[in-house]
Structure 1
Amino acid sequence: MLTVIGEGLVDVVQRSSGIEAHVGGSPLNVAVGLARLDHPVQFIGRYGRDAYGESVAAHLKSSSVLLPQGPDALPTSVATAQIDDDGAATYTFDLAWELPGLGERLPFMLQGTTLLHTGSIATMLAPGAAEVLAAVEHAHPSATISFDPNCRPSIITDVDYARRQAEKFVSLADIVKASDEDLEWLYPGEDPLDSARRWLSLGGSEGPAMVVVTRGAEGPWGVNAAGVAHFAAPGVTVADTVGAGDSFMAALLSGVVDLGLDGAQNREDLRELSAGSLRDLLAHAALAAAVTVSRAGANPPTRAELTRMELGEPASPATERQP
């Protein structure tokens, strides 16, 4: 079982053509992406007892994501995405992030988890961030840990605090993915690839096995003990970039699981992954992101769609966004 812990919310997408509302949130999107790639996955997050909350639960269930907890009394969080003429998204947020009583239920909820993913707002915003860190610490002895900071400077404005929080999770993670924009904000004036190399050393022998940097049209770059790897960004017509990084993250993790490298017992084998194998993982993840940007919204590919993309067949821009 794979577990994703973090925020779920509703994206209200504003385009010149009108306004649409879709379920989103970076960790939730990763959970859906993993499920569409045929992995059993559960999502631990919060949503309200309201119409938006009902849509969050329905969206997860429609992609066969398990939801081990019900709604609470707080409103479901909302992110407003403004899409510009180039398809790029900027966000504003109205959200609540807390997981009351999670600590008591964690041993049961994480039983059998071989990989735990988290990131974004969930790892930064109090009071829930402390509960997420506790969940990672609980899972670390038995599960692979993955982390994507997916920084939101409009919510977490204190870059020093954000940097400290990110480094706590990086030092516990086996797989780290960040965008070049994340690293430029966290470490202003530094080359993002140098920042990634430094993250690889955080936590010493218990730190990351790989750090991957997404760089938009330049393609993803990664570093591990064997060296560095790069994959050129696939050429596709961009509808928008919503959810692209989350699809990349889901496919990266899917590739690791497909190699049989999830679970703490495989931590050393993951560390010994060759640079060529790292490049293969980058390619797999980049092609998943390419499918997502070719169609509107955070709509990650199924395994069949990703396989077609890997075989050189076209993406599926006409695929319906699932509810």
Structure 2
Amino acid sequence: MKLCYYKLPNGAQNFGDNLNPWLWEKLLPGVLDDDPTTAFVGIGTLFNNTLPDRTRHARKRAVFGTGVGYAKGVPAVDDSYKIYCLRGPLSTKALGLADELAVTDGAVLLRRLVKPGDRKRYKFAFMPHYELAGEGWKSVCEAIGFGHIDPRWTTEAVITAIGQTEVVLAEAMHGAIVADALRVPWVPVVTSPTILSFKWQDWCASVGVEYQPVQTQRVFDPRKKTDLLTPVSTVRHWLRVKSAASRLKQLALRSRPILSTDNLIEQRTVQLEERLQQFKDDVAAGYFTSPQT
């Protein structure tokens, strides 16, 4: 069974996507391999019209904690799909499926592998979206004594940094999901109109909180040539950093951090464990085994 998750081009890294091999290899030892005839669709906003093509060789697909979104439309849910749980109620509604399939994002199972530490290094830390991550935000955070969490770091490094922070300011959704799972309060931040609010609303609904993001300016966009750091743009960049630092500090001081209740996050974790056991039982019973030829 092949693990299906989003991989950025050119070897680029993103924490939310990289949680997949890190988490599932620990929770499902001996289950995942490179056999494309069965697919395990895991963490990410993967349930859209591109999924059938991405898993074109799979005759059966196990879906676990995935969310609906991106691309255009959703595929027909036929007998090739065995859906154990989805990210939230907006995903089940979009697919026309039973509410009971809305549990929460699969990344919450990290709670069973990582224990939050007591040692805190930063009062606040900012984690940008991977598309906007870079030295600009690092400079901003350093200027005001905030921690900087780069979603392109290794999975372990990001998890450790989140655990060492009192309040995470998160534009990267899985920064907020992991913070909530580890009982670290968080504030949703938006610096770009490309952030998909649907996926945030979907997950937030699953853990009983409202998605009310705080807007702030971006520092730079590495995709735009005008934002590349050159001698000509050095002064402009410095002014952006200074302005963004001031805004981020005010945002942190004025915003009310969010945290789901201990009871609900534990309930969702137990539900995920139960669904994962169902999947393991199906694997053991041969549900996903290729027919003998």
TM-score calculated relative to the size of structure 2: 0.30
TM-score calculated relative to the size of structure 1: 0.28
Computing the radius of gyration from Cα coordinates, the structure with the larger value is 2
Greater share of strand: 1
